[in-house]
A and B are shown apart, each in its own frame.
Chain A
């Protein structure tokens, strides 16, 4: 038995010993077969673990991560938008205009929609999401969406305690809040198909953010809260 402790042997295998101690271990290894075997086992363990997990690091980065980190799919940063808004000179004017514009569109949609299956319809006297939009609002997570027609922006609790979500789609973008089993449309603005500039109709849209700002209590849900809310049926 040599005087080399397990700790020293392990540090040797990990390349963590200084010159003096490395030589000590090497001298001991030369005359101690059991120690040499032990070292081989530690080196093999390191090789096996790194080989086991290496393929994950070699994979292409999955979309869910590149989408999170690429500028064009930027995660809506409410704090930043809030800051921008307070810096603006006539926020009242901007918001009034936004709401007027969305009301007009809401009415137009409500009327044009009768008898046709679109993203919205009138149910029990309210403008509500239907079809694909309703499904997206029910099930889609902002943290995990790929090539769907509708993208979810923010999920958050409104001041009345109910859940609301902002969304963007080709035809229409806006904000909807849970009302019983329905998603009541709080705001609708033209979707990105109507805009030459995709960014303009994103959930960073000042009009949508203004509505979110008006409705929201506290901060938007993070991924875990959002998932829990969805699993609980947005109650």
Chain B
């Protein structure tokens, strides 16, 4: 049961990471759940003694990428507009949009995926560059250049004073 309890202890961080990747907290929790289910199913692939948090970040990030690609395909087929900004302005949905699509979330949503995942790991999760590069399986140079571009874009979107 050690695996389950270690995983349970990681849930707060995993939910936070999922939320920073997703459009809103509800989507984030769905992503988090999918990642946990995937982890339970493929627990044999986790090597004891290696970091479970990095492994989980990687699983979640890969699921998110798959989902993002599927969504892009669907968006090309159905809806040309940017969804989030055209959510209905009535009742609950409006409140939900106001709460969940805060300025920060909106700015994050505008980043290209490759920048958003780097920002989420380094600035939200507080991973060291080396750890983040390992999770994403990219060279350090790629990580830092995406980070610089992502930071620059966020500063612009949120106003220089951030």
Question: A and B from one assembly?
Answer: yes
> Interface on chain A toward B: helix, strand, loop, or mixed SS?
helix
A54 contact from B16, B33, B102, Cβ within 8 A: B16
Do B34 and A45 have beta carbons less than 8 Å apart? no
A75 shortest CB reach to chain B, Å:
6
B33 contact from A11, A46, A59, A143, Cβ within 8 A: A143
* Contact A45:B8 (CB < 8 A) given known A57-B16, A68-B40, A69-B36: no
8 Å CB interface, B20-68 against A: 20, 25, 28-29, 32-34, 36-37, 40-41
Do B40 and A75 have beta carbons less than 8 Å apart? yes
By a CB distance below 8 angstroms, the chain B residues around A224 are: 34
By a CB distance below 8 angstroms, the chain A residues around B4 are: 69-71
Report the count of interface residues on B (CB-CB < 8 A).
Answer: 44
* Contact A64:B8 (CB < 8 A) given known A16-B128, A45-B123, A49-B104: no
Interface string of A183-204 (1 = CB under 8 A from B): 0000000000000000000000
Do A7 and B7 have beta carbons less than 8 Å apart? no
Across the interface, name the chain B residue whose C-beta is closest to A65. Answer: B11
B16 contact from A42, A56, A65, A222, Cβ within 8 A: A56
By a CB distance below 8 angstroms, the chain A residues around B160 are: 41
- Say yes or no: is A214 at the interface (Cβ < 8 Å to chain B): no
Do B25 and A56 have beta carbons less than 8 Å apart? yes
A44 contact from B11, B13, B16, B161, Cβ within 8 A: B161
Do B29 and A62 have beta carbons less than 8 Å apart? yes
By a CB distance below 8 angstroms, the chain A residues around B119 are: 49
Q: How far is the CA of A47 from the CA of B34 in the complex (A)?
A: 29
* Contact A42:B145 (CB < 8 A) given known A70-B4, A75-B40: no
A-to-B contact residues, CB < 8 Å: 6-7, 10-11, 14, 16, 41-42, 44-50, 52-54, 56-59, 61-62, 64-66, 68-71, 75, 143-144, 222-224
Knowing that A53-B16, A75-B40 are A-B contacts, what are 13 other residue pairs whose CB atoms are under 8 Å apart, sorted by A's residue number?
A: A7-B144, A11-B144, A41-B155, A41-B161, A53-B20, A56-B15, A57-B15, A64-B29, A65-B11, A65-B32, A70-B8, A143-B33, A223-B34
Considering the complex of A and B, which 7 residue pairs feature the smallest CB-CB distances, nearest first? A45-B162, A44-B162, A57-B12, A57-B16, A69-B8, A52-B104, A69-B4
